[in-house]
Chains A and B, each alone.
Chain A
């Protein structure tokens, strides 16, 4: 098992020197006390995620672990190149599948995997999104398994969440421990909102003349990520709208204001495709803005991400990303995939079924850590039931070896212990690509747990990229 502070030995790796000294100097009691203070601040500011309908506190905090996770400038430089490469190729793939489908014709990605995918939107065929960008915010989940080995666990091309935690975690650490940041040792992340606004400005629709009006579209205050929606709108200085605030008229999208209707040019939407437009997607849905999709197709508004972008972050499509990099870019993948068995293929499926106690099985369309089986941790009964599901619908599942995710020291009930982490950087794609150094580190706070999702007992950490 690889620990990012001590490596495989007992010493302290150079990037963690400052952290090790700080922990030593501060002491456990003081860290605990400061941790409680941090929680009080988060609660007071209202940085919560909403969980309605489960009883208990409807607005919960994501546990924040005080001990930062650190990358050296050199480590980050490589990660950054890999992330950019990946964000570029995912958009190239999306453009291709909604146009000529070269990669399908070449037999590299199976056509049915795309065309029969629930996230594929046939109405997007032939549509030319501004800048040919489909996924404007690409969240790439990365795990580390050794000194030199980083692997991509999954891609998020629709509306990856969590960036507000990246910003707030840094804010709170700088507020509580200014000394840690002395001398500009850590690269700042607070350019993100400006970068996001520039990215959205760059993809203004053809119909927009002049400075585009940008909005963030939220499902509303009961959405679990509502805080993030309002936070981003606020930091970008744009309006936070709900579908009911928008309507379509004369080929444009308008928002209702106290001075009458005003044109909207770019919509950073944090709602799913299904709820965008009842005329185009779900006629049974009361949500969404009737007619907005038609306006989008005609170049009257830009939707970020583009409808149908989800076809690139499907877990089965994921397995082909290294091939896509070779196909579209003629490059070698900088970041590897986690080796993955595609249950749709009989040999792979047989392997998964006979090694189900060793592997992690995931639903192809699942997200948020729900619906997965961690073979080594599951009971015999759970494994049998899951195997049955795989046999019935093999194409719905993929499996990966149970990874020994790297650990980072974290504050636990019994003192400082090693906890598994992953990383989600957020790559912005407009006319240019932008990436702030770092991202969101999620940590599995239960000892030994490998599940970092906030819905499953995960927490977050400040993530540092050191200045060179």
Chain B
């Protein structure tokens, strides 16, 4: 079996991760955009959640005044912000160039096609064409996934690429829940009630989960159901359990082909098992927020363990 350069594996991991992040950020912004159009005063609050869930709240001067223009500048176009969509797509392409020999032609074309599009647009133009731009970003992400799915050899390169994508996906979902957990607390915990299903569904919208949720729960928008769906659904491909399932699958594949296991395998197996076993009521009993924060830490630790195990 041909050995995989550690740098190549690292580049593939980040390539997968950046492309996934660009797609998730686009979904988050779509949710903010949608909420801002609804009656009521959700706009600033929702844009705040978007900024926080993408881990970029600190980049905004005045949290009270976050609006669509500021979001577009910072989360879509800002070159200085490594998590902006533009930075993610450029970084993904740069990582791709560095490992050209591990990519199929179709994968490369998915990364290369229109890579300077955002560079050539200003904030006003993006704002005018926002839904189209966000669709384009999600398409980039889907295109790469599709080309990987249909053309990439199922070797260790594939596993590292997918590990990056699934770790990012789990992490993004957890950060969204970290920001939005209060919306999902049981009604009784909230003094005065006051929330409606728009707020609950915003969380579903942010992860393109609304249709899938309908399909399973038929419009039963209770916070418990939503939290259960996003954390523990074995069927929803953006749920935390689903992501962990795949992280474990890819780590197991590496262990099988390399013939050795590391502490990342332990951590992934234990966490996946726990997510499978736990019910949402149990999580609510111990505290949703604590659980989510704990999972964020675990995911970070797992990433570090993977890097150590494979010399990335």
Q: Which residues of A contact B (CB under 8 A)?
A: 44-46, 57, 220-221, 226-227, 230-231, 233-234, 239-242, 244-245, 255-260, 262
Contact = CB atoms under 8 A, between A and B. Distances in A.
B101 interface: yes
Interface in B8-59: 8-9
A256 B94 contact: no
Given A44-B112, A46-B112, A221 B3 contact: no
Nearest to B97: A221
A88 to B, nearest CB: 32
Given A44-B109, A45-B109, A257 B101 contact: no
Interface residues of B, number: 25
A258 B3 contact: yes
B153 interface: no
A50 to B, nearest CB: 9
Contacts of A227: 100
What 8 pairs across the A-B complex have the smallest Cβ distances?
A230-B100, A257-B3, A258-B310, A234-B101, A256-B6, A258-B4, A262-B3, A221-B97
Interface in B78-135: 94, 97-98, 100-101, 105, 108-109, 112-113, 116
Contacts of A260: 311
B108 A244 contact: no
A245 B11 CA distance: 13
A44 B113 contact: yes
Contacts of B4: 257-259
Given A46-B108, A46-B112, A245 B5 contact: yes
B101 A230 contact: yes
Contacts of A226: 97
29 contacts: A44-B112, A45-B109, A45-B112, A46-B97, A46-B100, A57-B116, A221-B94, A221-B97, A221-B98, A226-B97, A227-B100, A230-B97, A240-B100, A240-B101, A241-B7, A242-B7, A256-B6, A256-B311, A257-B3, A257-B4, A257-B5, A258-B3, A258-B5, A258-B254, A258-B311, A259-B3, A259-B258, A260-B311, A262-B3
Contacts of B254: 258
B252 interface: no
Contact of A245 (B7, B108, B312): B7
Contacts of B108: 45-46
A256 B7 contact: yes
Contacts of B5: 239, 241, 245, 255-258
A45 B105 contact: yes
Given A44-B109, A46-B108, A234 B100 contact: yes
A239 B101 contact: yes
B112 A258 contact: no
B187 interface: no
Given A45-B108, A240-B100, A257-B5, 18 more contacts: A45-B105, A231-B100, A239-B101, A240-B101, A241-B5, A242-B7, A245-B6, A245-B7, A255-B3, A256-B6, A256-B311, A257-B3, A258-B4, A258-B9, A258-B160, A258-B258, A259-B3, A259-B4
A244 B10 CA distance: 13
B46 to A, nearest CB: 37
B68 interface: no
Contacts of B160: 258
B263 to A, nearest CB: 16
A239 B254 CA distance: 20
B305 interface: no
B2 to A, nearest CB: 8
Nearest to A256: B6
A233 B102 CA distance: 10
